[in-house]
Amino acid sequence: MTRARTVLVPTLIAVFAVTSGGWLLQRGVGMRANVYLHARVFEEVMNRIESSFVGEVDLDSLYEAAITGVVDRLEDPNSRFLPAAMWENERIRTQGEYGGVGLEVIDRDGYITIVAPIPGTPGARAGLRPGDRIVEVDGRSLDGWVTDQAVDLLRGEPGTTVQVGIRRPGAGAVITFEVERELIHVPSVPFAVMLEDGVGYVPLLVFNRTTTQEVRAALDSLAAEGMTSLVLDLRRNRGGLLTEGVGLTDLFLDPGMDIVEIRSRASTPERYAARDRQSYPDLPIVVLVEYGSASAAEILAGALQDHDRALLIGSTTYGKGSVQSLFPLSGGNVLKLTTARWFTPSGRSIQMDVADQRARGERGVLTVRGEVAERPGLEDKPEFRSSGGRLVRGGGGIVPDLWVMQDTLSADEREAFREVINFGGSFVTALQSWAVSYLQAHPDLEPGFPITDDDLASFHTSLQEREANLPMATLLRARRSMAFLLGNEIAVQAWGDRGSFLRIAASDAQLDRALELLSAASGPEDLFALAGSPLGQVEASGGEPGEGADPSR
């Protein structure tokens, strides 16, 4: 007990020193002495608890709670005290491989929330979805936990299983999924494909050590096939390495053009600028963004928008524009502390305030794909100008040039769809099993295959076999979403990520708008002229948000 105290007290003092550094220098020695007084009082309290408290106490956990409390008072979701046992988890998004379930998670409104399952991983195959709140792991409640602690439980040896209990919007009870861990390899570019009229399509999942290399290879391959314009898809890209975000942006800008500026309290602003000449300077580019685009993805999107190098389509990005520095502490512990913020070349802060993040949830609507889409919210967002004089918006996150929403569900469709997803693991198991049977019965299947009412009836039988007593009428009411989910599961099992994309591309309103503009544009400047729509205008296929849309679009 006593040994643990002597190791951790210097750690606590170090935290006080880090969190108050500039303040102490300005206030002088008197204030510094005051901080040491507080530390001494804290030590006296801990001594009294150890010697006199009526019950047994775990001093390690008390010290850890105290340090965590200090960091929490900063009210910054990205600053965190990392005990030695949890430090390894910080590399989850930047290393090439790890044993786990393949989920990108964040702290949101007090819950550990799934941002996106990595395509092709156990979490994605199990049916875990963006927006799911993880509340239990192996029967253990995660109430009061932070992301790093949850990740520690989710990761493990490949081949072992983990039970994940989630609360899903619209579902009353906790839904449990059993997921088998695998060795997770996260490529930056899962595939690249040539679309109609010479439009190349490159989806970018993450910024890791090979991102710039992978994108360059994809562009060169598409150029050899005759690419005349490009769609770079950053939707669901949670970011990663700053160096790769800067390096990839450099591919599309001329030498000397600013990419991002880092501003901190302790030093002069640091600017990153492009160094190399563009390989494809005349290539018209559309970048697709949404709420799931964050961090390094926002650096790329913001720089290309500010320099009029790409047209942004979709919805406002996440707003994660801060720098976290890692400070080693005694005992192998680490302090992860926000020390700076990122600004785009026009001076826009990428970081979105916590209050603004919470307000975004009020604008959410449910799409045919079972995802939450956001209506535009441009109130009080400051105005900036791109290098060419175009209006761009600040206020946190990167606001697209054209706001395009996916097909949304009517009130009746939403209610039916929520009844379906309430079956959780039973629904996913039935879906996967049914897709296998479907493929066996259709060996010559093509990506454009339809989902018929007979297919829904067959799937309904599969649900009943697993005691999921869902009325057939409910499946029919949720027909558009069910057709999407069944068709996509078949495509993933049959052809992988590329085949799944080809299957759903025709119903992607954001991609559809990009293709429409790129097919008509003769160059980058022509692309902006053709876009024409005022910033923030909503283009929702099939009518107003919340109403049924024409599935033939």
Count CA atoms closer than 13 A to 440's CA, side-chain side: 6
**26 CB contacts (<8 Å, ≥6 apart)?**
none
Say which residue the tokens 């994108």 belong to. Answer: 215
Query: What does the alpha-carbon distance between residue 273 and residue 277 come to, in Å, rounded to a whole number?
Result: 12
Q: 250: number of CA atoms within 13 Å, CB side?
A: 17
Catalytic residue among 295, 349, 386, 507: 295
Which of 244, 248, 254 is closest to 309 using CA atoms? 254
Structural contact between residues 193 and 502, judged by C-beta atoms closer than 8 angstroms: yes
Three-state helix/strand/coil letters over 127-167:
CCCCCCEEEEECCEECCCCCHHHHHHHHCCCCCCEEEEEEE
498-521 burial, b at 16+ Cβ within 10 Å, e below that, comes to ebbbbbbeebbbbbbbbbebbeeb
Q: Is 148 a catalytic residue?
A: no
Q: Give me the phi and psi of 344, to 5 degrees please.
A: -75, 170
Structure tokens at 493: 């099992």
Residues near 69 by Cβ (< 8 Å), separated by ≥ 6? none
Q: Which of 260, 247, 450 is nearest to 343 (CA)?
A: 260
List 250, 308, 315, 320, catalytic entry: 320
Q: Annotated catalytic, 143?
A: no
SS3 state at 409: coil
The label of the residue with tokens 């040896």 reads 157
The answer to whether 170 and 422 have CB atoms below 8 angstroms apart is yes
Cβ burial 179-194 (10 Å sphere, 16+ → b, else e): bebbebebbbbbbbbe
Query: What is the DSSP pairing of strand 97-100 with strand 182-185?
Result: antiparallel
- The single-letter DSSP state of residue 532 is -
* 119 to 44, 184, 225, 387: CA distances (angstroms): 52, 11, 26, 36
| Options 132, 233, 250, 306, the catalytic residue | 306
d(CA 483, CA 455): 9
Q: How many CB atoms lie within 10 A of CB 552?
A: 7
Tell me how far CA of residue 440 lies from CA of 428, 434, 437, 447, 501, in angstroms: 19, 10, 5, 15, 21
Q: How far is Cα 66 from Cα 338, in angstroms, rounded to an integer?
A: 19
Tally of CB atoms within 10 A around 493: 16
Q: Is 320 a catalytic residue?
A: yes
- Enumerate the active-site residues: 295, 306, 320
